[in-house]
Amino acid sequence: MLSSRPIARNSGVLSARRDAIVLAILITAVLLLIWNGSTFFSHVRIDGSFASDVRVASTALTLNVALILFGWRRYIDLQHEAEVRAEQDRRAALLATTDPATGLFNRKGFADRATQLCLEAGARGDNLIVISFQIHRFKSVNDQHGYEAGEWFLRSIAAALPLELGEEALIARLSGDEFAVALPLGPSESDRAEDLADAVLRTVARPLMLDDRIIQVGAFAGIASAPAADASIPDVLRRADMAMDRARSGRVTRPVWFDAGMERALIAHGEIEQGIRFGLDHGQFVPYFEPQVDLATGEIVGFEVLARWNHALSGVIGPDVFIPVAEEIGLIGRLSEQVISEALREAAQWDSGIKISVNISPSQLADGWLAQRIVRILAETAFPAERLVIEITETSLFSDMDLARSIVTSLKNQGMRLALDDFGTGFSSLAHIRSLPFDIIKIDRSFVTNVTAKKENVAVIRAVTTLAAALSVPVCVEGIENEEAYSAVVRLGGTIGQGWYFGKPMPAEQTRELLAARSRGEQPPLSAAANG
């Protein structure tokens, strides 16, 4: 599959220099031979004897013959040297364009050969099709069977792909588990491109036997196309990679075609990422406070802190836009700590009976220094630990239960309160309540939506409130947004309510005004206000 490359320029220069040197030596030797030969014969006497300087001429003639022999030997040596250098250049060119593990093209070789392919296909009016695919769980092959088994597996795939795709397909291994295929197809052959991508996925997913062990993995594939006449190989490959990333993120087991929306989403993602970095440096992420109300009295007993992005151009941006990106780029911890610090600094001035609840992301819960970080924030903001409630979701406990238990216990020992958030959405809720020292159970808002219309939601809320009452643990019900939901939650035994029925999340200034008005008796309890 690998095309030969011309001999490198330095080999050509060496060859020309060699020929010039040898030619000069031979011409000089021949001219001297002719001159000495004429000298020799011009000094021969009639009687056949020689003049006194004939011996000198004969010696020169002998040296000329030796010079010719030396020149020829040097010519042979230089020719061998040029052949060795040409072989070295050929090997260097091969190594520069070939993946040593599989014998396929590497990224450079793929770009070079695909460029030639475009020139040929462009003359016929064809399109260039690029299939980018990534082996799923390839790392587990190395971890379970060793790196030698991993290389054997890659070589097996590299040998099988040309048989499935045909000789016209250009196949490359771009990195550890990422590959690409390029081939020319007619403008109306998009179905064939998808069939070839399906063939790639089947080939990669085919089980292989190694020493009585079955090795089987999966793959994700993306397809991009462009007219071959004006195709940019890096651009087409980048688009195929975007499509492959979409397939991987969505766990789509069929090939995904690139569309312009993917590129727009990637650009938007990049802009959000840069905006997050800028916003963190310039204090643009601020806390908003959502009221938590005692369902029996209607009094505010706490606030949940929610992050908002106070963007200079776009205004206030909700967390669904920036939280996933911050988690992906590893900045969720810094963002969360910045918002928590600002919230606690503000809430330190409020009524000492009001609790402040903050959410901890799964990635933060994997940080063994989380407790120390929160204690530092408490010290910097002069906020009492007993007024702080740390909300932890069930799903964040699954990855490393021992580490989660250690961190949760450490937080509890520092005097903070713990809430099990989104209760009921996980798989081991009762086990978590028994094994971890939670002070509050928060029922997920999904059980409150249409609570009167769905009997199963009523059953879940009743079961949780009954269990919590037996454990003397208060229940906070999220997502109360109307009178009907409020009445149902009160009837089912909820202790604390939270949702837009009591008030939307508000900035610090508005929260201060609300608390000040309530302290002056200018506003009734929120449940009564909502009913009124």
- Say whether 194 is catalytic: no
Pair 495, 476: CB distance under 8 Å: yes
* Token digits of residue 175: 């990195």
Q: Are 288 and 506 in contact (CB under 8 A)?
A: yes
Judge whether 115 and 108 are in contact, CB under 8 Å. Answer: no
What residue type is assigned to position 375 of the chain?
V
Contact 365, 407 (CB under 8 A): yes
What one-character-per-residue DSSP string does 134-164 give? EEETHHHHHHHH-HHHHHHHHHHHHHHHHHH
Rounded CA gap, 70 and 80, in Å?
Answer: 15
353, two tokens: 């009976």
The half-sphere exposure of 62 on its side-chain side, counting CA atoms within 13 A, is: 6
What is the amino acid identity at position 148? Answer: E
**Alpha-carbon distance 115 to 104, whole Å?**
16
Measured distance CA(27)–CA(12) in Å, rounded: 23
Residue of 304, 478, 483, 509 marked catalytic: 478
Q: Which one-letter DSSP state was computed for residue 6? A: P
Quick check: 395 and 364 in contact, CB under 8 A?
no
Q: Could you tell me if 221 and 205 are in contact, meaning their C-beta atoms sit under 8 angstroms apart? A: no
Handedness of CA 85, 91, 94, 98 (dihedral sign): negative
**Rounded CA gap, 268 and 427, in Å?**
35
The label of the residue with tokens 């009585």 reads 212
Please give the positions annotated as active site. 478
